[in-house]
Amino acid sequence: MFVLGLVATLASGKSYNNHKLIRTNVLSFEQASKLQKLEEVYDFWRPARSGLSTDIMVGPLNQKYLYNLLSNLGVEFVEVINDIGTLIEEQKVKSLGKNYQGKISFDQYYPHDDLNAYIDDLATKFDFVNTVSIGKSYEGRDMRVIQIAKAGPGAPNVWIEAGIHAREWIAPAMATYLIDSLLNNDVDNFTDTLNIHILPSTNPDGYEYSQNSDRLWRKTRSNHNSIFLCKGTDGNRNWDFHWAETGASGNKCAETYHGPEAFSEIETQNVRDYVLALEPVPVLAQCLHSYSQLWLWPFGYENGGPYPENVDEIRGLADDAVKALEAVHGTVFENINSADLYPAAGASDDWYKGVLKARFAYTVELRDTGRHGFVLPADQIKPSGEELWEAERVVLQKMVDVSSE
């Protein structure tokens, strides 16, 4: 019955049957510039930038046109995923199984309400754990933060948010893995020194929509009166730090639409208000995303732009983190400045560093490098968590060390 119901759900959602993901060769400046003009037409899973390859999803109706265009530009490419629709259907059958019933497992993806139920349960089991609502989403879903506050008032704060892009399911899953590790595998006793605040679901409306209607939905679900009925804003272009500059779009239908103004989205407002109220200012602010296997650090709003004043310690810690991560399963992450990947203004990590003044700020782009892209199978949750936790142990130890200076 479950499979039949799931098939019916899939039938009612947006179909990606016969959609392909293609990867280009490394682009020249001219090639990248011309492809960038298509970023509001096609879904670029990785933006077109000079000196890098790009991933583009293309449906059957536009495939011939795009392939001819790439050929005329001299851009070579390969098909990374032959049929995204098939991949999505396989993932839904295998990874959206039983509802949460008092115990989290790391072999499936959970809906937003289950993520909230999980952290609320933890608050009843640990006397130093609390959960709080930081506000409602646009569609009225509760945004709940878990506070692991064993260290007590005045201790250094750590802030972690996940899932601001709806289709990146591995990010909320990794938030729950880190929570589980902190409460059940904290052999380093980080929670004795640090108060850790984690928001597993930063874009609950988009996340639910991606699970029930459109697997590859990225944005929020707000309504900004698009004449084409396009909904939502890219929550990671909506922050008030170099808002609406490079790498963000004013087109309401674009995946990177920055919104009509900074903090137009209730979800980003809720996060802003919560972290600004934390005392002391978080020593670490971290964002979980996918995909590409990167450990990114600010600033990302401009190519070759200014680096943080403590860039050496930020970059050095990122280097130590990716080494620890690789030692677990051999997964290679690259440690780079965000703008070296592609400039993106109005992102949360830039705001955490530039406005909140967190000493360390990172965006972690989780598995994989494109074999599955955003449609990462659930059997990769556990190994992803195992390697991420080892990286986080290095990062959290650094937070303990610098907080005792």
pLDDT of residue 12 exceeding 70, the answer is: no
For 290-309, write each residue's pLDDT tens digit. Answer: 999 999 999 999 988 799 99
Q: Quick check: 255 pLDDT over 80?
A: yes
Q: Residue 92's pLDDT is what?
A: 81
What gap in Å lies between CA 403 and CA 217, rounded to an integer?
Answer: 39
Catalytic residues: 365
- The residue ranking higher by pLDDT, 3 or 214, is 214
Distance separating alpha carbons of residues 307 and 88, to the nearest angstrom: 39
Residue with tokens 């963000």: 248
With beta carbons less than 8 A apart as the criterion, state whether 201 and 176 touch: no
Short-list 201, 196, 199, CA closest to 128: 196
For the domain spanning 104-403, the CATH number is 3.40.630.10
Domains 18-82 and 104-403 share a fold: no
What is the model's pLDDT at position 217? 98
Which pLDDT value is given to residue 97?
A: 62
Q: How far apart are CA 327 and CA 68, in angstroms?
A: 43
Which sign, positive or negative, has the C-alpha torsion 203, 112, 168, 340? positive
Torsion angle, alpha carbons of 288, 332, 45, 342, to 10 = 80
Closest CA to 138 of 266, 261, 272, 271: 266
Q: What does R_g of the chain's alpha carbons equal in angstroms?
A: 20
Q: How far apart are CA 363 and CA 348, in angstroms?
A: 9
In percent, how much of the chain has pLDDT > 90?
90
Distance CA 287, CA 293 (A): 13
User: In this predicted structure, what is the pLDDT of residue 359?
Assistant: 98
Amino acid (one-letter) located at 184: N
- pLDDT above 70 covers a percentage of the chain that reads 96
Alpha-carbon span 292 to 334, nearest angstrom: 9
Report how far residue 318's alpha carbon sits from residue 209's, in angstroms, rounded to the nearest whole number: 33
- Write down the pLDDT at residue 9: 38
- Looking at the predicted structure, is the pLDDT value of residue 115 above 50? yes
Q: pLDDT value at position 99?
A: 82
Q: Answer whether residue 281 shows pLDDT above 60.
A: yes
SS3 sequence of the chain: CHHHHHHHHHHHCCCCCCCEEEEECCCCHHHHHHHHCCCCCCEEEECCCCCCCCEEEECCCCHHHHHHHHHHCCCCEEEEECCHHHHHHHHHHHHCCCCCCCCCCCCCCCCHHHHHHHHHHHHHHCCCEEEEEEEECCCCCEEEEEEECCCCCCCCEEEEEECCCCCCCHHHHHHHHHHHHHHHCCCCCHHHCCEEEEECCCCHHHHHHHHHCCCCCCCCCCCCCCCCCCCCCCHHHCCCCCCCCCCCECCCCCCCECCCCCCCCHHHHHHHHHHHCCCCCCCEEEEEEECCCEEEECCCCCCCCCCCCCHHHHHHHHHHHHHHHHHHHCCCCEEEEHHHHCCCCCCHHHHHHHHHCCCEEEEEEECCCCCCCCCCCHHHHHHHHHHHHHHHHHHHHHHHHHHCC
Is residue 200 within 8 A of residue 145, CB to CB? The reply is no
pLDDT band at 5 (very low <50, low <70, confident <90, very high): very low
Of the options 3.40.50.150, 3.30.70.340, 3.40.50.1950, 2.60.40.10, the CATH number for the domain spanning 18-82: 3.30.70.340
What pLDDT score was predicted for residue 354?
98
Band (pLDDT 50/70/90 cuts) for residue 1 is: very low
pLDDT of residue 96: 66
Give tens-digit pLDDT for 30-81.
Answer: 999 999 989 888 999 999 999 999 999 999 999 999 999 999 999 999 999 9
Is pLDDT of 392 > 90? yes
Q: How many alpha carbons fall within 13 Å on the CB side of residue 30? A: 5
The domain limits of the chain are 18-82, 104-403
pLDDT-derived band at 121, boundaries 50, 70, 90: very high
